[in-house]
Structure 1
Amino acid sequence: MPGSSLWLVPPEDSELYKAIYELIVTDVPSVYPAKVPHFTPHITLTSDVTIPDTEDSQKWLEGIKLPDTKALKVAIRQAEVGSIFFKKITMRCDKTPELCALAASCRAAGVQGNDAKGAQKWAEERSDMPEDEVEAKLDDVHKKVQEAKQQHPDSITAKGGSVLLVPTHKPIEEWKSIAVRQLPEMEWTWHT
């Protein structure tokens, strides 16, 4: 599956997930009136994943050697402007050693032929450059984030999550997970 991605997502039954999903589907598009496809709130751990055609997707995902995720805590921060369509507005997360280690493990397995050292370097150095074109409305987005948190008061934290394998080489309407790996002990916190 060339061009697939591995996404880290909060638990779908959490208030955190529901609040962020509403931001994606309703609130942010009300600030930036553009047709935005609905997609799962996620952190892209890596993209351009290639799985051999003979490999079962679920078995492959379960077989990735991941670091201990008990210490993984994802801290969600302010909304930021990105340079490409799919990252035009993102919620920045702290780039912790634990999150980098998870991304590096996924990158090594799916893209770099299990080159752990190269994947770790990729995870630590990768960053996005902000664009000025949508900065003017970013304060409005921050207000929508605060409103979403008020509507979902239990969205400040969530325990658990999962890694999804998503065929992002297909049209966006087909971005549905084809394999899921649960990470029940990780934690999410929303700091905005």
Structure 2
Amino acid sequence: MTGASLWLCPPAGSPIEAALQTLITKTIPLHFGDEKVPAFRPHMTITSDIPESVDPEEVLRKISLRGLLEVNFKELVIGQTYYTRGTLHLERTPAIIDLARQCRELFANGGAEVEIVDKWEKEVFTPHVSLVYSAMDPVPDNIREAIGQDLKEANIGVLHWNGPKGEMRGWKGGRIALVSTHKPIEEWETIAERTL
């Protein structure tokens, strides 16, 4: 990835954070055989391409929220790229879109014009929570089914599953983190963080 990234993370110590972290670090990697899939913090990427030269605290101060952010899982998707190989796509709520557009306009590549942000939002931005980064391509159907079963066993639901009552279908609020994604994955670290 180029530049740093802004992530929306689940609330600290929440059941959804714990469930996603276990899936990402322990459960789902078992399906990928000898491939050493990396561990990472549960998150939705708000935007990337943020120059390393930014003042991290200023970035977090400039973000303006218009109400409570709510992350709602929509569906499990096996994507076409390393970073989207296994994801939970999210509902494109006005609050999520507004946050992503605002951050892209203010910080990506040192700031972006509205027309560029419009195009990015329509053609590139797909709100999701990654479950695995993998070079496996294609991902066999049995692995997709196994990941779906892992989600159900972790009590994580999406819109099209009628799972048990009380399943976790996302989170409210959380934390915004500026992360050093311009480095190799094993060196990613949180540069600054703000609780919502």
Q: Secondary structure of the residue that 1:111 maps to in structure 2?
A: helix
Q: Return closer, same or farther for 1:49/1:141 CA change in 2, 3 Å cut-off.
A: same
Residues 7, 164 of structure 1: 8 Å contact kept: yes
Q: How many angstroms apart in 2 are the aligned matches of 1:126 and 1:158?
A: 23
Q: Return closer, same or farther for 1:23/1:82 CA change in 2, 3 Å cut-off.
A: same
| Aligned residue type for 1:73 | E
Q: How many angstroms apart in 2 are the aligned matches of 1:87 and 1:111?
A: 20
Measured against aligned partners, the alpha-carbon deviations of 1:66-89 in whole angstroms (never above 9, x if no partner) come to 24032x321113321111112111
TM-score (norm 2): 0.78
Measured against aligned partners, the alpha-carbon deviations of 1:129-162 in whole angstroms (never above 9, x if no partner) come to xx97114121111001111118xx6744543211
Measured against aligned partners, the alpha-carbon deviations of 1:1-46 in whole angstroms (never above 9, x if no partner) come to x611111111121101111111111111112222111111111111
Counterpart of 2:146?
140
Counterpart of 2:36?
35
* Structure 1 residues 47-66: aligned runs within 5 Å: 47-51=48-52, 53=53, 55-64=54-63, 66=64
Counterpart of 1:190?
none
Structure 2 unaligned blocks of 5 or more: 127-135, 157-165
Dislocated runs of 4+, deviation >2 Å: 114-118, 153-160
**1:176 Cα deviation from its structure 2 partner:** 1.2
**1:56 Cα deviation from its structure 2 partner:** 2.6
Counterpart of 2:132?
none
Q: Return closer, same or farther for 1:60/1:127 CA change in 2, 3 Å cut-off.
A: closer
Residue 127 of structure 2 corresponds to residue 126 of structure 1: no
Report the count of equivalent residues. 174
Structure 1 unaligned blocks of 5 or more: 184-192
Counterpart of 1:159?
172
Q: Secondary structure of the residue that 2:177 maps to in structure 1?
A: strand
Measured against aligned partners, the alpha-carbon deviations of 1:88-123 in whole angstroms (never above 9, x if no partner) come to 111111122221111011111111525345324422
Residues 178, 192 of structure 2: 8 Å contact kept: yes
TM-score (norm 1): 0.80
Q: Return closer, same or farther for 1:172/1:157 CA change in 2, 3 Å cut-off.
A: closer
Residue 86 of structure 2 corresponds to residue 85 of structure 1: no
Residue 12 of structure 2 corresponds to residue 15 of structure 1: no
Q: How many angstroms apart in 2 are the aligned matches of 1:171 and 1:60?
A: 22
Q: How many angstroms apart in 2 are the aligned matches of 1:159 and 1:96?
A: 12
